[in-house]
Amino acid sequence: MLRWIVFIIIYITLGIYTLQAIKAATRYPWVYYAYMVLSLFVIGNFIYQFTMGDDPGRVLSVPKSYAFGLLLAMLTFMSITIVFLFSEDIFRFFTASYHKIFGGTKEFSLPQRRRFLSTIAMGIAALPFSALLYGMVKGKYNFRVLKYNLEFDDLPQSFDGYRITQISDVHSGSFDNREKIEYAIDLINKQKSDVLLFTGDMVNNMAEEMLPWKGLFSTLSAKDGKFSVLGNHDYGDYVSWETEDAKRNNLTDLKNIQKEMGFDLLLNDSRYLQKGDDRIALIGVENWGRGGFKKAGDLKKAVSNIDKDDFKILMSHDPSHWEDQVLKDDCHYHLTLSGHTHGMQFGIEIPGWIKWSPARWRYKYWAGVYEEMGQMINVNRGFGFLGYPGRVGIWPEITVITLKKRSLT
């Protein structure tokens, strides 16, 4: 209770301070009242959702995620506005103190200066505020197809030009627009890749989240099949289950759903993809993540039925697995496909110019293709979203990788 009281006091204080900027920038009372109504609605909805709303576990429900997203947008607007005004108030304080002691003009306290700075502050604050709202309305379904040509010296000749579509981090429990998901499924099928690989996190918490979308995802197709692995959210670890049997049954249900959708789920296992006399090994491990994440992945078991010299594609949900274990393994894994990071669903990407997200502070390999020690990884930015119900700058991704045999010349 004390934490809620402190939080509400801080929020109201920020709100009142920001209101002064609005009053300085405009003379229309309806603007003040609109701001007050909106800010009170945001905090009221947040308090309601996080005290009396549905409690599905540690992962936010859809109403909770929207309450969090709106609060984040409002706090961002308030904070940026206050940075400007507080700096001005500090300046005015020292200026006024100076003039009181030594005398002189009071031009720095003119209302015109305050109005000008308030207008600038709110104009700048409106940019991230609008971006966060856009991310919740449009950005989360702004699907992008990213295409890579990856060259390898020892790729079997028959697989030169072989196309892989990778999707990751569906998080079906967050979906709220069937039409947009139908569009994305159609976009995946239009790539007409040879094989479709899904690298984990089909749901947020429970297998039942996938039931409304099972028929739609069953329409995904690739001539050489659809393969999948589990992500950290698929195990039901973020829910308080009544019994261990209930948790185990949930995982069994999810495995069955994947099978019914036509996915071959690889649980520390492998398959061969065959073209004529050539073949490549497809390996799938269970989730293995650095820190407190589940560590069920077993590379030794996964490659027990393949030859060490095979060309290998590894599916492993968390890129920290690649960094901590795969690169150091005795086997050479030519290409690893991961997800997990979502690119933090927020960042700036201008191809050839800038690629930044807060995700880089936690993950060395957080989005796109990287190469280390002659081995490559693609970290998919994710199909769905989690927590904040949107995406800003880091858009939902469908990856299409074309394998190429490197020319001798």
Residues 159 and 128 occupy one common structural domain: no
Domain end among 138, 165, 197 = 138
Q: What average pLDDT does the segment 368-385 reach? A: 97
| Per-residue model confidence as pLDDT tens digits over 117-130 | 778 877 888 899 99
Q: Is 121 exposed, middle or buried (0-12, 13-18, 19+ CB in 10 A)?
A: buried
The yes-or-no verdict on residue 255 having pLDDT over 90 is yes
Handedness of CA 113, 116, 122, 127 (dihedral sign): negative
| Per-residue model confidence as pLDDT tens digits over 199-220 | 999 999 999 999 999 999 999 9
With b meaning 16 or more CB within 10 Å and e meaning fewer, what string describes 343-378? bbbbbebeeeeebebebbeebebbbbebeeeebbbb
| Per-residue model confidence as pLDDT tens digits over 54-106 | 766 668 888 999 999 999 999 999 998 888 776 666 655 555 565 566 665 55
**Domain hosting residue 196, numbered range:** 143-405
The residue count of the chain comes to: 409
Instruction: Kindly tell me the number of DSSP H helices and DSSP E strands found in the chain.
Output: 9, 14
| Per-residue model confidence as pLDDT tens digits over 308-362 | 999 999 999 999 999 999 999 999 999 999 999 999 999 999 888 999 999 999 9
Task: Give the separation between CA 77 and CA 80, rounded to whole angstroms.
Answer: 6
Number of domains composing the chain:
2
Residues 132 and 151 occupy one common structural domain: no
Helix ranges, 241-342 (H): 244-260, 299-302, 319-321
Residues 121 and 196 occupy one common structural domain: no
| Per-residue model confidence as pLDDT tens digits over 155-168 | 999 999 999 999 99
Residues 9 and 134 occupy one common structural domain: yes
The dihedral formed by the CA atoms of 163, 337, 350 and 391, expressed in degrees to the nearest 10: 110
Tokens of 218: 């069953």
Domain end among 78, 112, 138 = 138
Q: Pick the range with the lowest mean pLDDT from 92-106, 144-158, 240-254.
A: 92-106
Domain end among 138, 165, 191 = 138
Helix ranges, 261-353 (H): 299-302, 319-321
Q: Which amino acid is residue 245, in one-letter code? A: D
Q: Which amino acid is residue 395, in one-letter code? A: W
Task: Give the separation between CA 66 and CA 203, rounded to whole angstroms.
Answer: 18
Q: How confident is the model at residue 108 (pLDDT cuts 50, 70, 90)?
A: very low
Residues 356 and 312 occupy one common structural domain: yes
What is residue 82's predicted lDDT score, i.e. its pLDDT? 84
Residues 168 and 30 occupy one common structural domain: no
Helix ranges, 191-327 (H): 214-217, 244-260, 299-302, 319-321
The yes-or-no verdict on residue 183 having pLDDT over 80 is yes
- For residue 82, the tally of other CB atoms under 10 A from its CB is 19
Tokens of 179: 């039409």
Average pLDDT, the chain: 91
The yes-or-no verdict on residue 184 having pLDDT over 80 is yes
